[in-house]
């Protein structure tokens, strides 16, 4: 449990720095970068099918691909890829919503 606490604290630090670094970027680039980073860092996955412990999905996928011959890296990589695509879709929907709101406010003036 302390390992997860340390990892989440570090992830929040990384996300805070990324948030600060991406401030000058345009919204169509800033939002997807932030969403991808959050999804990549915060998605958990079981360490192995036989154990109850969980780890970050990107780390589980990395170790499955490098260290284990009987398990594919897609065990955690496939769902991670799906979550990254979902994060991109949600970021795109938010960008679309913001543009529609901006267009609406400009048409009123």
Q: How confident is the model at residue 30 (pLDDT cuts 50, 70, 90)?
A: very high
**Alpha carbons 10 and 66: distance in angstroms, whole number:** 24
Q: How confident is the model at residue 68 (pLDDT cuts 50, 70, 90)?
A: low
Domain boundaries, the chain: 2-108
Mean predicted confidence (pLDDT) in 55-61: 90
Q: How confident is the model at residue 94 (pLDDT cuts 50, 70, 90)?
A: very high
Q: Are 32 and 84 in contact (CB under 8 A)?
A: no
- 73: Cβ contacts below 8 Å, ≥ 6 apart: 61, 62, 64, 65
Q: Is the pTM of this model over 0.85?
A: no
**Alpha carbons 62 and 35: distance in angstroms, whole number:** 21
**Alpha carbons 69 and 59: distance in angstroms, whole number:** 16
> What pLDDT, on a 0 to 100 scale, did the predictor assign at position 32?
95
């Amino acid at each position: 449990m302390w390992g997860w606490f340390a990892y989440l604290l570090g992830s929040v630090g990384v996300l805070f720095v990324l948030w600060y670094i991406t401030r000058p970027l345009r919204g169509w680039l800033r939002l997807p970068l932030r969403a991808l980073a959050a999804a990549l860092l915060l998605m958990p996955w079981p360490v192995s099918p036989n154990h109850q412990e969980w780890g970050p999905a990107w780390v589980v996928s990395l170790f499955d691909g490098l260290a284990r011959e009987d398990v594919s890296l897609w065990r955690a990589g496939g769902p991670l890829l799906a979550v990254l695509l979902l994060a991109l879709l949600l970021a795109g929907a938010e960008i679309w919503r913001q543009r529609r709101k901006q267009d609406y406010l400009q048409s009123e003036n």
